Structure 1
Amino acid sequence: MSDKEAVIELVKRLPPDVSFHQIVQEIEFIAAIREGFEEIDQGKGISIAAVEKMIDSWTTK
């Protein structure tokens, strides 16, 4: 699905009283997710094990 098609589908699912600001937030959220998936597909992602180590380093002293 193209970016344009994804936005159209997103807007169709939003409630009729949604504000422009909320629409922009939703589009930015979906864009970030799609970019993340593209990075993972390109091998640029971080493994779960690496993320767990990062979280451990943040929470231990």
Structure 2
Amino acid sequence: MVNTPKHCPGFEQFKHLTSFMCKCPECGKEIEIFSDEADKPHNCPGCGKPVDFTRCSLYAKA
């Protein structure tokens, strides 16, 4: 008999993630950030400059 999981494998490690929207301080483009990525370096997809999340206006995704 095959035991089929009731959810995707690896689900537990991601079920508490939250996402936020951030406006790039340089060009204003909105960037989606997940809570486990906030401490990793990111470049803005709009202007290509590194995004410093400490200068970013974070707001919850509606």
Same fold (TM over 0.5): no
Looking at secondary structure, tell me which structure has more helix per residue. Answer: 1
Q: Considering fraction of residues, name the structure with more strand.
A: 2
TM-score of the aligned structures, taking structure 2 as reference length: 0.21
Higher relative contact order (CA 8 A, sep 6+): 2
TM-score normalised to the size of structure 1?
A: 0.22
